[in-house]
């Protein structure tokens, strides 16, 4: 049986099963195991299942074992723990409160503060869903209470939550780095400028929206003294310290990404106890939540590693590379096709699922064009970020909808999201057109 044919059928089977909402981990592992068993069974030209048991089991267990025991993967539970501990210690929300104190008097200032708070939260947690969920509970009800248009109040937080994918640390960058064998530290640095560019774009959207329609963000009569503003800014120093440790430590060559995560977890815990904002019960809750979230990520990653090994076995990737080469696509057309694929998948699948499903085919294709994998990683993460707020299944939108309930139906949230999506597309085009936006800091760090 031709391996490439089995690979094509396997991809079709994966998409079919995902359409029926079968969990991505079980889908990838079952399809890969079945496909490998068939290939090994037909190796002699006739169907002989006895010859397939040992190599198939070896492929399954060795690849999953190697992934789970990889050093790089250890930073995922560390960064996840950092996010939970920082939230329990009230570190992540202080950036939002500081921004709100400084910006409340501006038209749309609370919405801008919400986006900035999401950016600060993202700089510690690395999870878009966690960012949208947490900041949605804090920011959205307050904006609705102040009379903000539900579209602005919800869409600003849903869009701001996507910054967790791009602003380091990012769980998606870690998974991308592991599967493509690229430097995770350099990927983190590559995401800084695109993340800040996106953040600035979101704030600009709010300013223009409120400038054209002032009624969507009623002015606040709340006053803060100069002392209160500076006090709020100073109270956010733990979050700034953790971000500086992560980025400054990696940029300065002091830490690896894993070491930076370990240092920050320790620092966040000590700061929380010192400020009496963190108790042993809070720490235990953070550990339990970390174990649950990390286990889910590890299971998906392990099953994806099995699927990657299966794709390599089928030889389908070289066939696709050859087909694209024969088609003589330009780099621009190649990237447009890749962007369309990711945007379409982003309408229906979660970011981790999209990444582990597509990377086995995309990376050989990108390497055949001699494109920079660090830059391509930023493009992929940006596309996945867009998928988080793209209808009909924008995960961040549904997270916000669950937070606010009947105050803002999903259709209203999506109606507000379109403005932020336009900025995302512009930033994506800039990143793809000018790779230096992503590569400037990593090149300086080398």
| DSSP track, 149-168 | -HHHHHHHHHHHHTHHHHSS
Task: Share the mean pLDDT of the chain.
Answer: 85
d(CA 20, CA 11): 15
Tokens 């010192």 appear where? 274
Residue 332 has a CB neighbour count (10 Å cut-off) of: 10
* CA geometry: angle 308, 312, 313, nearest 5 deg: 115
- Of 5 and 209, the structure prediction assigns the larger pLDDT to 209
Buried b (16+ CB within 10 A) or exposed e, 408-435: bebebbbbbbebbbebbeebbeebbeeb
Residue 312: both structure tokens together = 């390599």
For range 327-337, the mean pLDDT: 87
221 HSE (CA, 13 A, CB side): 1
Q: Is the peptide bond before 272 cis (omega within 30 degrees of 0)?
A: no
Indicate if the pLDDT at residue 400 is higher than 70: yes
Radius of gyration, alpha carbons of the chain: 23
pLDDT digits (tens, 9 = 90+) for 130-141: 777 777 788 888
Domain boundaries, the chain: 72-294+438-445
**Distance between CA 128 and CA 134 in Å, rounded?**
10
- CA 279, CA 88: separation in Å to the nearest integer? 9
How many Å apart are CA 119 and CA 185, to the nearest integer?
A: 19
Say yes or no to pLDDT of 1 above 60. no
Task: Tell me the pLDDT tens digit for each residue of 343-359.
Answer: 888 877 778 888 888 88
Model's pTM, two decimal places? 0.86
Those residues with Cβ within 8 angstroms of residue 8's Cβ, 6 or more apart along the chain or in another chain: 316
Query: How many C-beta atoms lie closer than 10 Å to residue 237's C-beta?
Result: 14
Q: How far is CA 267 from the centre of its chain?
A: 24
Distance CA 191, CA 197 (A): 10
Q: Cβ(134)–Cβ(121) under 8 Å?
A: yes
What whole-number percentage of the chain has pLDDT above 70? 98
Q: Which tokens go with 291?
A: 């174990």
Q: What are phi and psi of 152, to 5 degrees?
A: -70, -45
Length of the chain: 446
User: How much is the pLDDT for 446?
Assistant: 67
Confidence band for 194, pLDDT divided at 50, 70 and 90: very high
H helical segments located in 275-315 = 280-314
> What is the pLDDT averaged over residues 191-218?
91
- Greater model confidence, 310 or 379: 379
pLDDT number for residue 91:
84
pLDDT at position 360: 86
Residue 260: predicted pLDDT: 86
């Amino acid at each position: 049986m031709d391996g490439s044919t089995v690979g094509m059928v396997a991809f079709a089977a994966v998409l079919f099963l995902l359409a029926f909402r079968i969990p991505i981990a079980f889908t990838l592992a079952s399809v890969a195991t079945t496909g490998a068993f068939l290939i090994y069974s037909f190796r002699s030209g006739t169907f002989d299942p006895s010859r397939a048991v040992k190599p198939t089991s070896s492929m399954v267990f060795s690849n999953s074992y190697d992934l789970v025991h990889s050093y790089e993967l250890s930073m995922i539970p560390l960064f996840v723990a950092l996010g939970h501990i920082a939230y329990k210690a009230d570190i992540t929300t202080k950036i939002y409160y500081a921004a709100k104190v400084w910006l409340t008097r501006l038209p749309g200032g609370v919405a801008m503060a919400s986006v900035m708070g999401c950016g600060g939260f993202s700089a510690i947690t690395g999870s878009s869903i966690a960012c949208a969920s947490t900041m949605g509970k804090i920011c959205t009800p307050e904006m609705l209470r102040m009379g903000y248009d539900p579209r602005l109040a919800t869409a600003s937080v849903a869009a701001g939550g996507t910054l967790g994918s791009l602003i380091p640390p990012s769980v998606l960058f870690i998974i991308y780095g592991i599967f493509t064998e690229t430097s995770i530290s350099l990927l983190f640095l590559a995401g800084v400028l695109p993340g800040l560019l996106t953040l600035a774009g979101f704030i600009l959207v709010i300013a223009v929206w409120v400038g054209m329609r002032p009624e969507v963000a009623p002015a606040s009569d709340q006053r803060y003294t100069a002392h209160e503003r500076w006090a709020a800014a100073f109270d956010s120093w733990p979050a700034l310290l953790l971000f500086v440790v992560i980025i400054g430590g990696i940029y300065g060559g002091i830490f690896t990404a894993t070491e930076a995560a370990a240092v920050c977890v320790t620092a966040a815990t000590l700061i929380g106890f010192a400020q009496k904002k963190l108790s042993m019960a809070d720490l235990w809750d953070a550990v339990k939540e970390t174990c649950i979230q990390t286990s889910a990520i590890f299971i998906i990653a392990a099953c994806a590693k099995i699927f990657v090994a299966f794709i390599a076995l089928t030889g389908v990737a070289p066939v696709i590379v050859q087909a694209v080469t024969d088609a003589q696509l330009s780099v621009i057309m190649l990237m447009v096709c890749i962007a369309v694929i990711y945007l379409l998948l982003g309408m229906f699948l979660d970011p981790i699922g999209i990444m582990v499903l597509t990377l086995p085919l995309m990376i050989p294709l990108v390497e055949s064009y001699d494109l920079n994998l660090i830059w391509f990683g930023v493009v992929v993460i940006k596309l996945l970020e867009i998928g988080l707020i793209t209808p009909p299944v924008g995960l961040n939108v549904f997270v916000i909808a669950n937070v606010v309930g009947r105050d803002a139906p999903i259709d209203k949230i999506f109606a507000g999201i379109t403005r932020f999506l336009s900025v995302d597309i512009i930033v994506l085009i800039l990143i793809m057109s000018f790779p230096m936006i992503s590569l400037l800091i990593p090149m300086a760090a080398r």
